[in-house]
Amino acid sequence: MMPMIILIAFIIIAILILLEAAMYWLIRHPAVLRRFSRKLQNSISYLYIQGDRKIMQFQEGCGRYHPDLGYTLQPGTFVFTEIEFCNEYRINSLGIRDNEESLREPEIIFLGDSFALGWGVDQAETFVLLLGDKTKRKTLNTSVPSYGTVREMLMLRKVDRSRLKCLIIQYCGDDYDENRLFHSNGNRPQIMRAATFRNLTTQHSKAKPYFPGKYIGLKIRKKIGEWKPSAITADDNHLNDVNLFIHVLKQNADMLLNLPLIVFEMNGINQTNTFTRQLKEKINEAGQPPFIRNMIVLDMSQYLEDRHFYVLDGHLNASGHVIVADILYQTIAQAGII
């Protein structure tokens, strides 16, 4: 029996080594990974995001603490590099990816997170600047990675809105928690403390080197997490992401009244239009204020394909930004906004 046990153990170890090697290789060759099934792409992407991807705002030299917003980006210039891209980020004095001139009397303002920021593309390739070129109007990109609707509205209060003609909001499913905490906390934003920001920066600025068994270990931990029963927490709000999103907007009605609003959802390569569909239904309910009823809701999932996203990182690539800019331009033109 002992030789058989040794043989079986050897076979299992060999299989694990081959699996680890395959995962290691595919993460470092995303162009090859793109040829495989969506299921395998998602599996490898998970390993990359959990084990290798850096968090921009918590990298030394990329983010800075802000008492009202938790953090913004670090004014100046920095380079953010990942397996699929390497880009320069030019940040103005407000801590957002735009120039100083854009802070003066912008006509189109963007609110959003890393998708609208242009994570993974050069500054001139973002759909914000592409739309500015198409409309010949001054745009301002206030987007910061991981911001929810609450902080986006706080950021909006800090910018010049004297000539604002259109507000474009990019929503992500990650906004839910921030918006939920805002509601449950009596419409008060919960902003991280300086010590928390410093700890996160220290933690995430450390290198993430490879070691044998790294990806197998991540897979095992993921499976264990799936087997564990999920904790069910009581939610006194009974509000979904659409209700919470509209709730935050209503708390900021003083800025949004009589202002054309365009909203679209962006969740990465695994697209969904659930939020979009439900939002379209919600804004048509009786009792909604005019600025909510008149909101333009776009479904970008019908225009974007897998090839418009990075296969590992999941953010829009340059071709995806072109598509979004074109749809936004057509929407603004058809609505006669500017």
Give the residue extent of every domain in the chain: 2-53+205-227, 95-197+235-335
For residue 147, pLDDT over 50 is answered with yes
Asked whether 333 and 299 are in contact (CB, 8 A), the reply is no
The arithmetic mean of pLDDT across residues 236-251, rounded, is 89
The arithmetic mean of pLDDT across residues 47-61, rounded, is 97
Query: What's the Cα-to-Cα distance from 166 to each of 25, 96, 110, 148, 287, rounded to whole Å?
Result: 45, 19, 9, 19, 24
pLDDT digits (tens, 9 = 90+) for 213-226: 999 999 999 999 88
Query: What's the Cα-to-Cα distance from 267 to each of 57, 201, 336, rounded to whole Å?
Result: 19, 24, 28
**Can you list the positions of beta strands (E) in the chain?**
63-66, 70-73, 76-82, 85-91, 108-111, 139-141, 166-171, 261-265, 296-298
Q: Compute CA 36 distance to the chain's CA centroid, rounded to the nearest angstrom.
A: 25
Scored b (16 or more CB within 10 A) or e, 228-258 reads eeeeeeeeeeebebbbbbbbbbeebeeebee
Band (pLDDT 50/70/90 cuts) for residue 236 is very low
Q: Compute CA 26 distance to the chain's CA centroid, rounded to the nearest angstrom.
A: 24
* CATH code at 95-197+235-335: 3.40.50.1110
pTM for the predicted model, two decimal places: 0.94
For residue 229, pLDDT over 80 is answered with no
pLDDT digits (tens, 9 = 90+) for 185-206: 999 999 999 999 999 999 999 9
